[in-house]
């Protein structure tokens, strides 16, 4: 059923983009983006609104034509073989897109039917998720809570047993508890060998993916395993806090010895201009400002630190204010 | 009482049998950055609507900027600023037109609007864009501008409803710089967020669960109480037991 475009099935990536670009008028929504997603991989597109995540999803699900470049999903070309792709992928758009006036069960039935299957046939795949909303199977989808809508949408995207699943910001605006549950579901699905491409603006979710692409302004800044991205942070990173943390932030930021300084939860994160790894030296520098309850320590970077760093570099390259 | 920006005592809002807000009590000090957290459906939006003078409580008491939420809704509206992620500015007006519009709605005089909008545009570094449509601005800039507009009439309190949703990490921090500046200028900030690192930037935070205020303290004390190093975990421990969930 699937055309393999001459590649052997084992080596063929599940999703492949080569130099994809998409403009809306003057805005470069997607700017020369290339990456591959391997079979069974959980791949994250990490970036804020306007990074180009949704356009990429729409190009890969054959709902939008790219201006340049090529892309394949399971070996099928997104333009020539769009019919095969549509039968084979599951897509959960960012906006809730089920029928609000149909019940939970009717929605699921509808999606199973248009893909020529039944709920029973693939029930194993959605069982764990569907059982959580089964008590409400006669409720209209529009009357469900946010967390339950999300679970139903995932079931509907899975009911035809797709080999690739595209999830566009499934956890945006969702609270911490539901977010955790959702990622647990994704890990269960991974065990079923489904390739998953998921986007999120939450940097802390990046570490739950096998590999991630950090995106900003239509461009990919880095593609790698989360642990590698963090390891490649080019400078020694320090954390500092004091009673009056906002004042400390302003003082350190205007100190010539400090390269960058920004708030990060209860601490400030800072790198030094000379990139010293000497904790005592940094502590002495901060102590100059005579703060109460000063604490300085050396830390390892997080994905968010890497993202901020890459964004600064990109801004500097484009001549914008990188501060 | 008169020194408090917000007071709530046993504030309740009931829809039929459903207690969206269930006897919540707290006080917010002037100039404080007060984080208002909770799971989806915990009752945050309902509570916020009452405090903004947009909805009447079923029972209990509350004052905002010294005004009563039952009898003085109009005074409340005049003395607060409001900004949310979902709606903030008019996309098809220019930056200057948006400022002028909001300034006018809040009764700022024409000469005042003129001087202050020049100031604002230059502080934000938007001189070149001042006559561009807001719809053409990147989201991060829009949100920073929206915040500035929300405090343009120098309100006593500003309500921010998930102001940084979907914004990049660099802009998110610039946004918080602006919040700190506003607080330093004496404006009380009442803010909701789903980013737990932002909870750390608040002086005190509440966590609502199922319509009730389940916790209220400084981030440091909450972490101590729940024996953890992350606000994420505090929130998780509190909200995990929630019976309801919704939008």
- Domain residue limits at A27: 15-225
pLDDT in tens, A217-251: 999 999 999 999 999 999 999 999 999 888 999 99
- pLDDT of residue A4 exceeding 60: no
Does A2 fall in a domain? Answer: no
Regarding whether A173 and A42 lie in a shared domain, the answer is yes
CB atoms A177 and B236 under 8 Å? yes
Q: Is-contact A241 B220, C-beta < 8 A?
A: no
Confidence of residue B219 (pLDDT cuts 50, 70, 90): very high
- pLDDT of residue A323 exceeding 50: no
- pLDDT of residue A9 exceeding 70: no
Regarding whether A263 and A173 lie in a shared domain, the answer is no
CA nearest to B137, candidates B176, B107, B95, B96: B95
Regarding whether A253 and A122 lie in a shared domain, the answer is no
pLDDT at B241: 77
B2 phi/psi in degrees, rounded to 5? -65, -15
| Beta bridge partners of residue B34, listed in sequence order | B190, B204
Regarding whether A172 and A43 lie in a shared domain, the answer is yes
| Mutation to test the A interface, candidates B36, B123, B166, most A Cβ within 10 Å | B166
Does A115 fall in a domain? Answer: yes
Instruction: Please give the tally of structural domains in chain A.
Output: 2
pLDDT at B246: 52
Confidence of residue A8 (pLDDT cuts 50, 70, 90): low
SS3 A77: strand
Confidence of residue A23 (pLDDT cuts 50, 70, 90): very high
Using the 3D structure, point to which of A202, A225, A248 is the last residue of a domain: A225
3-state SS of chain A: helix, strand, coil percent to 5? Answer: 35, 25, 40
* Neighbour tally for B121: CB within 10 Å: 20
In chain B, % of residues over pLDDT 70:
97
Q: Is-contact B195 A175, C-beta < 8 A?
A: no
- pLDDT of residue A1 exceeding 60: no
pLDDT in tens, B134-175: 998 888 889 999 999 999 999 999 999 989 888 899 999 999
Regarding whether A245 and A126 lie in a shared domain, the answer is no
Regarding whether A96 and A217 lie in a shared domain, the answer is yes
Regarding whether A107 and A34 lie in a shared domain, the answer is yes
Regarding whether A168 and A257 lie in a shared domain, the answer is no
Using the 3D structure, point to which of A190, A225, A260 is the last residue of a domain: A225
Does A180 fall in a domain? Answer: yes
Element (H, E) at A259: strand A258-264
In chain A, alpha helices (H): 53-60, 82-88, 104-114, 123-133, 146-158, 176-190, 226-231, 245-253, 279-287, 303-317
pLDDT at A322: 40
CA A43 to chain centre: 8
CB atoms A201 and B244 under 8 Å? no
Does A61 fall in a domain? Answer: yes
Regarding whether A262 and A207 lie in a shared domain, the answer is no
Regarding whether A180 and A45 lie in a shared domain, the answer is yes
Does A165 fall in a domain? Answer: yes
CB atoms A176 and B196 under 8 Å? yes
SS3 B27: strand
Mean pLDDT score, A171-192: 87
Confidence of residue A57 (pLDDT cuts 50, 70, 90): very high
Summary mean pLDDT of chain A = 92
Closest-CA residue of A relative to B234 is A176
pLDDT at A316: 83
Regarding whether A194 and A284 lie in a shared domain, the answer is no
Distance CA B34, CA B47 (A): 14
Q: Is-contact A50 B138, C-beta < 8 A?
A: yes
Distance CA A122, CA A112 (A): 9
Distance CA A182, CA A123 (A): 19
Does A8 fall in a domain? Answer: no
CB atoms A265 and B197 under 8 Å? yes
Confidence of residue A320 (pLDDT cuts 50, 70, 90): low
Q: Is-contact B31 A136, C-beta < 8 A?
A: no
pLDDT at B26: 97
Domain CATH for A266: 3.30.70
Does A170 fall in a domain? Answer: yes
Domain CATH for A126: 3.40.50.300
ipTM reported for the complex, 2 dp: 0.84
Residues of A in contact with B32 (CB under 8 A): none
Regarding whether A270 and A246 lie in a shared domain, the answer is yes
């Amino acid at each position: 059923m699937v055309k393999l475009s001459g590649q052997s099935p084992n080596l063929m990536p599940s999703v492949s983009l080569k130099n994809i670009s998409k403009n809306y008028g003057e805005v470069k929504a997607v700017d020369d983006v290339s990456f591959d997603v391997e079979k069974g991989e959980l791949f994250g597109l990490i970036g804020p609104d306007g990074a180009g995540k949704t356009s990429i999803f729409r190009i890969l699900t054959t709902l939008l034509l790219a201006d340049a470049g090529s892309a394949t999903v399971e070996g099928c070309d997104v333009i020539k073989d769009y019919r095969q792709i549509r039968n084979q992928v599951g897509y959960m758009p960012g906006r809730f897109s089920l029928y609000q006036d149909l019940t939970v069960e009717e929605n699921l039935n509808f999606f199973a039917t248009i893909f020529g299957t039944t709920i029973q046939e693939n029930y194993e795949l959605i069982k764990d998720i569907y059982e959580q909303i089964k008590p409400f199977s006669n409720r209209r989808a529009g009357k469900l809570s946010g967390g339950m809508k999300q679970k139903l949408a995932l079931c509907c995207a899975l009911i035809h047993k797709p080999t690739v699943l595209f999830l566009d910001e499934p956890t945006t605006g969702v609270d911490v508890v539901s977010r955790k549950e959702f990622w647990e579901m994704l890990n269960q699905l991974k065990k079923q060998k489904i390739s998953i491409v998921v986007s999120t603006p939450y940097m802390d979710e990046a570490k739950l993916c096998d590999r991630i692409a950090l995106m900003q302004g239509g461009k990919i800044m880095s593609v790698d395993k989360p642990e590698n991205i963090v390891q490649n942070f080019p400078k020694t990173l320090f954390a500092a806090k004091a009673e009056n943390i906002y004042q400390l932030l302003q003082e350190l930021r205007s100190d010539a010895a400090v390269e960058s300084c920004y708030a990060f939860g209860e601490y400030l994160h800072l790198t030094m201009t000379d990139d010293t790894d000497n904790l005592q030296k940094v502590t002495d520098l901060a102590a100059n400002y005579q703060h109460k309850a000063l604490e300085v320590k050396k830390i390892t970077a997080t994905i968010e630190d890497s993202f901020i760093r890459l964004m600064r570099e990109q801004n500097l390259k484009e001549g914008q204010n990188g501060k | 009482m008169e020194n408090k920006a917000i007071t709530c005592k046993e504030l309740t809002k009931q829809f039929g049998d459903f207690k969206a807000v269930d006897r919540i009590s707290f006080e917010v000090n002037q100039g404080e950055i007060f984080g208002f957290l909770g799971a989806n459906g915990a009752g945050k939006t309902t509570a916020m609507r009452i405090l903004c003078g947009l909805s009447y409580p079923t029972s209990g008491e509350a004052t905002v900027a010294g005004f009563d939420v039952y009898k003085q809704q109009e005074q409340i509206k005049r003395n607060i600023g409001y900004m949310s992620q979902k709606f903030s500015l008019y996309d098809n007006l220019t930056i200057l037109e948006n400022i002028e519009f909001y300034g006018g709605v809040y009764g700022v005089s024409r000469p005042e609007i003129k001087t202050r909008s020049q100031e604002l545009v230059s502080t934000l570094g938007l001189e070149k864009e001042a006559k561009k449509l807001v719809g053409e601005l990147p989201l991060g800039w829009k949100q920073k501008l929206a915040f500035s507009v929300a405090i343009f009439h120098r309100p006593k309190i500003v309500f921010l409803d998930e102001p940084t949703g979907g914004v990049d990490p660099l802009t998110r921090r610039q946004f918080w710089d602006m919040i700190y500046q506003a607080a330093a200028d004496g404006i009380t900030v009442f803010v909701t967020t789903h980013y737990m690192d932002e909870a750390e930037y608040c002086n005190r935070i509440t966590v609502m669960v199922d319509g009730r205020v389940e916790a209220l303290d400084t981030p440091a004390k909450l972490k101590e109480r729940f024996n953890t190093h992350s606000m994420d975990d505090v929130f998780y421990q509190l909200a995990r037991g929630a019976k309801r969930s919704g939008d």
